[in-house]
Chains A and B, each alone.
Chain A
């Protein structure tokens, strides 16, 4: 190797950029987009609030069943920043615990939808032909129902509970990811590095899960973060309709449903859970838009 080793470029090359620096670059891009940064920080804050709810809440016992007859429907004030409900429970505590439910349920629903949707899309895109037709036509059937309606139907069928509502959302949501992944994989499939892997004798499943899926994920991540807000909203809607979370769970949609009875007399009851939903959905949308920009190779990769 003496003769060729000399041809080595001893310098580490001009375009060296370690992985850590690339992550820092991504973070920098995120922070440079002010709206995305607001979204990201808010999401982080919400997650922390949810995580430390038992510590932060003034009355952790009020999160579920508790009755304080003396403190019914108090307006916001010292001791009860969001006021109290008809059973005298601290609303701030309940909204805080609601964040735990909403974020966890959203994460589980999205993760489940991804777990179903991504492999199906990858297989459809890579295999083509019969499997592609079969998977995509089924996907189209599911997509032809409005997702809220479909989730409602599934949730009603499975029985009324938070777990079933999350399952219903996941079952109505996966086709979106299937579509995105399939489109990505179909275009990636023709790329030379896939052909190169085939020529090396790499088996199909390895090509799909080691080459195609990782390269197809960027738009999926963007979509998933945008969907997070919609999923939380859908869950709130299901709970509002009575087929999601059940009392005494402090789910936001359920809080609003109960609170609407007191809407004209006790404004704070619906306002604060409503604001929590609004804030969460908006934060995830901003974050998703920011991620879209960061992961877009056109805005990235500038020399």
Chain B
């Protein structure tokens, strides 16, 4: 029920300007044999106060896509070579260092996967937080301390300021709470959470997810939640974007994507995870491997592993297009052929898929 209301909300915000809008983003990494195309993201929109789940497997480019906003890439030699990343209406591709610095930390907070390596072990845990508050909000030391106290208490770590506690004295869950406080220090509008619970135990993961959901609601944060585990998004994300081989292959309201997946990759991905009490003797495995980064296929990147691939899929790359109104499988002719110029917003909030033969039986 709550799911439905949220989905409706997502459609409603579609009328507004997106906070973040990515179009035809191209990102390359320099290798010994020249530039390799890593990302070719057709379209991705994020609206204010919305939680977007960015799902994909290792190497699908989900982290690089999200990080295009702050243009801090975990891989050296990565460069944006084309397309557009608009944040609050301003173009960030080609923006100067000053403009990017204003975005980083201040407008956008980032939480990383491994809290044990993200905190400098030689400083007490309250130290970077106080420093961030002074830099981003221009607070005095005393005011920053008070604010740090408040923030840490909010994330469930009361009485930590001035105690000289070092990262190694905290548990993994506590360190991730500190990272969340740090990400919120600049009072951002957008929070990028990159697999924030992957390194944690399931019982701790449940706590951290709750905390993130609460903070998102309280602060009306827009959140990009990057994960390889689709199940985490149920009940948390308003919309889901599924990435494969550097592009978004399907996106839409969470309930729509999880319950009526249209792209064969999404369908297989959802079926591949073992489910409690299913009694299944075999799992739906996706055979083969994602395409090599050296030689990108001309057609659909998933064609080699796709049970539905036809001749067309190998020669022509499908464009992200709205799923037909008549339900799944309906708009066969209308999908895969791309967005018309004015269709961007509708596709951003609605259910869209990049496949010539969407729908079919969800396994």
Contact = CB atoms under 8 A, between A and B. Distances in A.
A14 B287 contact: no
Interface in A1-47: 6-7, 9-11, 13-15, 25, 28
Nearest to B36: A303
A2 B76 CA distance: 43
B31 A303 contact: yes
A10 B287 CA distance: 10
Contacts of A303: 29, 31, 75, 293
A13 B294 CA distance: 12
B163 interface: no
B292 A14 contact: yes
Given A14-B293, A14-B294, A302-B76, A7 B32 contact: no
A298 to B, nearest CB: 10
A11 B289 CA distance: 9
Contacts of B279: none
Q: Interface residues of A: mostly helix, strand, loop or mixed?
A: loop
Contacts of B291: 14
Given A14-B294, A303-B293, 17 more contacts: A6-B287, A7-B287, A9-B287, A9-B289, A10-B288, A11-B288, A11-B289, A13-B289, A14-B289, A14-B290, A14-B291, A14-B292, A14-B293, A25-B32, A302-B76, A302-B77, A303-B75
A28 B33 CA distance: 12
Given A14-B293, A14-B294, A302-B76, A9 B31 contact: no
Interface residues of B, number: 15
A222 B92 CA distance: 44
A6 B286 CA distance: 12
A15 B290 CA distance: 11
Interface of A: 6-7, 9-11, 13-15, 25, 28, 302-303
A25 to B, nearest CB: 7
A195 B80 CA distance: 43
Interface in B21-70: 29, 31-32
A14 to B, nearest CB: 3
A6 B32 CA distance: 34
Nearest to A29: B32
Contacts of B292: 14-15
12 contacts: A6-B287, A9-B287, A11-B288, A11-B289, A13-B289, A14-B289, A14-B290, A14-B294, A302-B77, A303-B29, A303-B75, A303-B293
Contacts of A302: 31-32, 76-77
Q: Which 5 A-B pairs have CB atoms at the shortest separation, nearest pair first?
A: A14-B292, A9-B288, A9-B289, A14-B289, A25-B32
Residue among B285, B291, B292 facing the most chain A CB atoms (10 A cut-off) = B292
A34 B323 CA distance: 56
Give the interface centre of A10, A15, A302, A303 by most chain B CB atoms within 10 Å: A303
Contacts of A14: 289-294
B272 to A, nearest CB: 13
A59 B75 CA distance: 59
Contacts of B32: 25, 28, 302
Contacts of B287: 6-7, 9
